[in-house]
Amino acid sequence: MTETLILMKSELVITLIIFILLFIKIGAGMANKNLLLLIQWLLLGNLLASFLYNEEGWLFAGMYHTGNLIAVQKSILSGAVYLIALLFTSWFKTTKHLAEFFILLLSALLGMFFLLSAGNLLMFFLGLELATIPVAALANFDIDKKRSSEAAMKMILSSVFSSGILLFGISLVYGTTGTLQLNELYQMMDGSDLQKLSFIFLIAAFGFKLSIVPFHLWTADVYEGAPTATTSFLSVVSKGAFAFVLLAVLYKVFAPMQQVWYSMIVALSAITMLTGNLFAVRQQNIKRFLAFSSIAQVGFILVGISNGSAAGISAVVFFILVYVFSNLAAFAVADAIAVQTGREKIEDYKNLYQTNPFLSWAMALALFSLAGIPPAAGFFGKLFLISAGAAEGSYLFIAFAALNMVIALYYYLRVVRCIFMDKQEMPVEKIAVPATTTFGLWICIAGIVLAGVLSWMFDFIVSISIL
Amino acid sequence: MNLIVLLLIPFITALLVLLARTTQQVRLAALAGSAVQLVAAIILLFAFNHEKAAGNTAAIFFEQNHSWFPAWNISFHIGIDGIAMAMILLTAFVVIAGVLVSWKIEKMVKEFYAMLILLSLGAYGFFISLDLFSMFFFLELAVIPKYLLIGIWGSGKKEYAANKLALMLMCGSALVLVGMLGAYFGSDAKTFDITILAASPLAKDVQLLCFPFLFIGFGIFTALFPFHTWVPDGHSSAPTAGSMFLAGISMKLGGYGCLRAAAYLMPDAAQAYSPYIILLAAIAIIYGAFATMMQQDLKYINAYSSISHCGFVLLGIGMLTQAAITGAVMQMVSHGLMTALFFAVIGMIYERTHTRDVAAMGGLMKSMPFICTVLFLVGFCSLGLPGLSGFAAEMMVFTGSWQQPGIFHRIATVAACLSIVVTAVYILRAVGKVAMGPLKAGASALSDAGWHEKLAALVLLAGILAMGLAPEWLNTLVSPGSQIIMQKIQAVK
């Protein structure tokens, strides 16, 4: 009993928080301001608890397992959710259904935790569904906005479709191997045609979740229509979780077929990077812009994954950690401006520096990190991904990835240029940033500046990234 | 002496600049920081020579090796040889002059100085690095300050120029990255460490594959033809100190990288590709010189002549003789000091006349004698007048080049020599028009240089004269470094 409690503690803590919120909602109710404060403290507690008592073990006849790497992945996601609770304060204060928002958000997080800990493909599917369906509701949270409903509709349709594909893939796996246990599956992978087909179905399903090109078409619309808090959850937490899961599936289940999937991942990576980058160049809306830039980032994650090496694991986990700080900071700045002025075009940022120096620097730093410019941690993240991909890999592919970094720099600099150099008649007025948002932004800034230069974080991740 | 100091001083200076309250405090903090840095660089030079005099025969002095990312075998390995020492001195001279010249900047002073200092931090870090990874880190660190310096404080088509510069330099970095990963995975030791990579040579096919990436990548930084197009736009749009840093420091990062990362680590490939390098360098020298003839804008004149002068650096590297490589390094130092001063003087003139068009100026010697005297001196230096630094450096490159007996090498050398005539034409014409002749209407009320401008000019002039009148000390400083590189290359023969 105690063993179960300790091994499943991250899921249990999340469930507990969900219940607390539920009771508050049904019972007395609370003013938004106090409720948000409570949520922030609870999520901080959750983050801190995720560092404690992490043990390795299996439960429920191999249905559930956890270990050091999974615990760290969960901590990263918990941290990201805590940052979201801090960063979007001004939006949270205006929304009517704060408790519901976090209940749904945490349910999705719970689903991701189960997904990460799944030891069996059925459990895996269960977690995946729990991780996606609440998010569709979250996308609909600006209830009076039509775009928000549209986003939710697109989200749910593509999710259902990808779930169907995933289930079909799983059934093919079961058909060829006779088991759904992840740790038994890889011994039975012989690379038969049917298994290759099942792999294609699985990767297509993940493609939808991670918005890998050509499965990315829902991304930009959903990102733009959904409330920014949801968008950032989708683009950071959900993407992070699915990247971790993709690692586990490729490295554990399909490890014997590495030769088969290498070229597939390389092709997907190349086309994802290029498409994401080229579309990002033309975007006018900052959220759509970040949507396409995040597609390009996924292409980069695939570079690191492509080789199937332990270095790939550490590179991806570290990159997601950095990505949490950088992308959340960018979304937070965009949201702070959009909530108070309703302006979310890149052009609106012209001359932002004159009125809002702090927000400007936070945005610039986040964008530099996304572009991979030192001393921002994104530089190290991208470099390790590329290095992991380069080991015995094809240099043509690596040169292509490096070239994409240049294209990416072009459009990130476009925003920087608007903020610092271009002039306009009516710059965004001085934004009153809530204290919690400022605090969250400082955490992000510290993360961006220090996570790379101080190497111990990466060293720690390497020490637990074992094949 | 601990080399970390070279990084700590700019870092602390940048912090002080950001913490300062008034504009005056910002300026003083920046000036004090760069002065301390200059003193530190000079002390380092004495310490370096002292070590050598004491009989220390190590190739690299003041070495430190800290593990940084052990998983990738990346270490923070720093140390200097004579070549790096010369570059550090150059950087210190240019930085303090740049800070002084920008004294009158009014727009976002704090950010301006912070960017200048950050850029110099990148340069110092680059020159002391002995690990390709940290070299790359510092190389890229300097990109953003350049972008912002041009884009915010520049003039003319500044956004376009800033974008072009950032993207072209980023392309260079991307190539360097690929070449550097190739060296990493091609080496037996799987390391970025330059000393280890040099000790156990890479396989020849790896060298032949990686060398172009590294050389062209770094070459973009130092205006390798045909990747020089960012130079005129970038330099002419940048603010005065920005141009000084770009030409004086940033372009030298490329030359140093070509030498340290490309030629030193991949001697076989350097041999194999040497004719191509020479060809491109010779084209750059001649093309740059003729392109300068056509310019009317003072900044463009200096920018195009920089392409020509940096061609000498690449020519020296491509010739692969010890004298030529020593000459290349001396040319880097000389060109750094000289263009920095040239841009500084152009900035001073522009501040007063509000034009950079040569045709619109005339007779300025009467109203601003100090500035025009410096203009003459720096012009003479540029065209290679003996007694000034340009002569010593170019002479060294030519002598070194002539040591290569092949007919191809001879033709390239002669062509490069002839470009000096063209240089004399455009320099004398431009300088003469600006300073001599009848004073244009309204120009008589212009004031001469202020104390900070005089000081900046004198600091750089001191460097130019020290090198021009007594090139021997620089030669002895640099030679051991280039000798080691040559030993690697001769071992191939």
Per-residue pLDDT reduced to its tens digit, A301-333:
999 888 888 888 999 999 999 999 999 999 999
- Rounded Cα–Cα distance for residues B82 and B485 (Å): 12
pLDDT digits (tens, 9 = 90+) for A140-172: 888 888 888 888 888 899 889 999 999 999 999
Residue B80 CB-half CA count within 13 A: 29
**Residue B139 φ then ψ, to 5°:** -60, -45
Contacts of A459 in chain B (CB under 8 A): 69-71
Chain A residues within an 8 Å CB radius of B174: 399, 402-403, 405-406
Q: Could B174 and A399 be called an inter-chain contact, meaning their C-beta atoms sit closer than 8 Å?
A: yes
Q: What is the per-residue pLDDT across A450-459, written as a single tens digit (0 to 9) for each?
A: 988 888 888 8
Q: CB distance B178–A379 less than 8 Å?
A: no
Rg (CA), chain B: 21
The CA–CA distances, whole Å, from B396 to A376, A467, B89 equal: 41, 56, 20
- Contact between residue B51 and residue B61 where contact means Cβ atoms under 8 Å apart: yes
Mark yes or no for CB contact A390/B181 under 8 Å: yes
**CA atoms of A201 and A125, how far apart (whole Å):** 14
Tens-digit pLDDT profile for residues B170-184: 999 999 999 999 889
From chain A, the residues in CB contact with B205 under 8 A are none
| Nearest residue of B to residue A398, measured between CA atoms | B178
The 10s digit of each residue's pLDDT in A98-124 is 889 999 999 999 999 999 999 888 899
Across the interface, do A417 and B151 touch by the CB < 8 Å criterion?
A: yes
DSSP B387: T
Residue B446 has phi, psi (to 5 degrees) of -70, 145
Pairwise CA distance, residues B263 & B214, whole Å: 9
- Gyration radius from chain A CA atoms: 21
Tokens of B112: 């301006």
Out of B71, B137, B166, whose CB is closest to A409?
B166
Is the minimum CB–CB distance between A375 and chain B shorter than 8 Å? yes
CB contact, 8 Å: A83 with chain B?
no
Inter-chain touch A406–B209, beta carbons under 8 Å: no
Q: Does B175 touch chain A (CB under 8 A)?
A: yes
Q: Are B225 and B307 spatial neighbours (Cβ–Cβ below 8 Å)?
A: yes
Distance from CA of B179 to the nearest CA of A (A): 9
Pair A293, A276: CB distance under 8 Å:
yes
The whole-number pLDDT of residue A382 equals 92
Handedness of CA B50, B54, B58, B63 (dihedral sign): negative
Q: Which stretch of DSSP H or E encloses residue B483?
A: helix B472-492
CB within 8 Å: A420 and B68: no
Residue showing tokens 């030629």: B263
pLDDT at residue A145, as a whole number: 83
Cβ contact (<8 Å) for B141 and A421? no
Rounded to a whole number of angstroms, the distance from the CA of A68 to the nearest CA of chain B is 18
By mean pLDDT, which of A227-241, B117-131, B432-446 is the weakest? B432-446
Partner residue opposite B167 with nearest CB, options A373, A387, A410: A410
Question: Can you give chain A as a three-state secondary structure string?
Answer: CHHHHHHCHHHHHHHHHHHHHHHHHHCCCCCHHHHHHHHHHHHHHHHHHCCCCCCCEEECCCCEEECHHHHHHHHHHHHHHHHHHHHCHHHHHHCCCHHHHHHHHHHHHHHHHHHHHECEHHHHHHHHHHHHHHHHHHHCCCCCCHHHHHHHHHHHHHHHHHHHHHHHHHHHHHHHHCCCEHHHHHHHCCCCHHHHHHHHHHHHHHHHHHCCCCCCCCHHHHHHHCCHHHHHHHHHHHHHHHHHHHHHHHHHHCHHHHHHHHHHHHHHHHHHHHHHHHHHHHCCEHHHHHHHHHHHHHHHHHHHHCCCCHHHHHHHHHHHHHHHHHHHHHHHHHHHHHHHHCCCEHHHHCCHHHHCHHHHHHHHHHHHHHHCCCCCHHHHHHHHHHHHHHCCCCHHHHHHHHHHHHHHHHHHHHHHHHHHCCCCCCCCCCCCCCHHHHHHHHHHHHHHHHHHHCCHHHHHHHHHCCC
Do residues A228 and A91 touch, judged by C-beta distance below 8 A? yes
The answer to whether the beta carbons of residues B179 and B147 sit under 8 Å apart is: no
Shortest CA distance to A317 belongs to which of A46, A74, A129? A74
Contacts of B144 (CB under 8 A, 6+ apart): A368, A373, B118, B166
In chain B, what residues touch A387 (CB-CB under 8 Å)?
72, 181, 184
CA distance, residue A132 to nearest chain B CA (Å): 35
Q: What is the pLDDT of residues B308-364, one digit of tens each?
A: 999 999 999 998 888 999 999 999 999 999 999 999 999 988 888 888 888 888 888
* pLDDT 10s digits, A342-393: 888 888 888 888 888 899 999 999 999 999 888 899 999 999 999 888 876 6
Q: What mean pLDDT, rounded, does chain B reach?
A: 89
Nearest to A379 among B140, B174, B181 (CB): B140
Q: Give the pLDDT confidence score for residue B255 in this predicted structure.
A: 92
Instruction: Report the pLDDT value the prediction gives residue B369, as an integer from 0 to 100.
Output: 87
List Cβ neighbours of B405 (8 Å cut-off, separation of 6 or more).
Answer: none
Residue A324 is predicted with a pLDDT of 94
State whether A458 and B167 contact (CB < 8 Å): no
Which of left, alpha, beta for A293 (phi over 0: left; psi -120 to 50: alpha)? alpha
Task: Report if pTM > 0.80.
Answer: yes
B18-32: average pLDDT = 90
pLDDT (average), residues B154-161: 87
H helix count then E strand count, chain B: 21, 2
Looking at residue A393, its pLDDT comes to: 65
Coil, helix or strand at residue B250: helix
Paired with B131 in beta bridges are B193
A385 in B contact zone (CB under 8 Å): no
A15 and B CB contact within 8 Å: no
d(C-alpha A286, C-alpha A293), whole Å:
10
Average pLDDT of B150-156?
A: 88
Q: Is the pLDDT of residue B442 over 80?
A: no
Cβ(A370)–Cβ(A297) under 8 Å? yes
Best residue of B67, B137, B170, B187 to probe chain A, by most A CBs closer than 10 Å: B170
Inform me whether the C-beta atom of residue B165 falls under 8 Å from chain A C-beta atoms.
no
How confident is the model over A256-293, as pLDDT tens digits? 888 888 888 999 999 999 999 999 998 899 999 999 99
**CA distance, residue B186 to nearest chain A CA (Å):** 9
CA distance A248 to A241: 11
Residues of A in contact with B152 (CB under 8 A): 420-421
Q: How far is B339 from chain A (nearest CA, A)?
A: 27
B395 has a chain A CB within 8 A of its CB: no
CB B456, CB B102: distance < 8 Å: no
pLDDT average, residue stretch A192-218: 89
Confidence band of B493 (pLDDT split at 50, 70, 90): low
Out of A380, A413, A459, the one facing B147 most closely (by C-beta) is A413
Distance CA(B227)–CA(B170), nearest Å, equals 12
The H or E element containing residue B63 is strand B61-69
Identify which of B88, B81, B164, B148 has the alpha carbon closest to the alpha carbon of residue B121: B88
Distance from CA of B171 to the nearest CA of A (A): 6
Mean of pLDDT values over A233-249: 92
Q: Coil, strand, or helix at residue B225? A: coil
**Residue B160 contacts A where some CB pair is shorter than 8 Å:** no
Read off the tokens for B149: 């310096």
- Please give the average per-residue pLDDT across A41-55, as a whole number: 88
Pairing outcome for strands A57-59 and A64-66 = antiparallel
Inter-chain CB proximity B170 and A398 less than 8 Å: no
Q: Is B163 on the interface with A (CB under 8 A)?
A: yes
Give every CB contact of residue B462 below 8 A, 6+ residues apart in sequence.
none
Token pair recorded at residue A428: 């965004």
Kindly identify which residue of chain B lies nearest to residue A379, measuring between CA atoms.
Answer: B137
8 Å CB contact of A406 and B69: no
Q: What is the pLDDT of residues A6-37, one digit of tens each?
A: 888 889 999 999 999 999 988 877 788 888 89
Residues in chain B: 493
The Cα–Cα gap between B338 and B94 comes to 10
Bridge partner residues of B80 (DSSP) = B61
- Who's near A435: CB < 8 A, 6+ residues apart? none
Residue B163 and residue A462: Cβ atoms within 8 Å?
no
> Over 80: is that where the pLDDT of B52 sits?
yes
Pick from B115, B181, B185 the residue to mutate for testing the A interface (most A CBs within 10 Å). Answer: B181
Instruction: Give the number of residues written for chain A.
Output: 467
Residue B203 per-residue DSSP state: P
Q: How confident is the model at residue B445 (pLDDT cuts 50, 70, 90)?
A: confident
Residues in B touching A373 (Cβ below 8 Å): 140-141, 143-144
Tell whether B4 lies on the interface with A, counting CB pairs under 8 A: no
Chain A residues with CB under 8 Å of B138 CB are 374
CA distance to partner chain A, nearest, from residue B139 (Å): 9
Cβ separation of B152 and A368 shorter than 8 Å?
A: no
A interface mutation test: which of B11, B68, B69 has the most A CBs within 10 A?
Answer: B69
Comparing CA positions, the residue from A239, A382, A388 lying closest to residue B173 is: A382
Tokens of A456: 């111990």
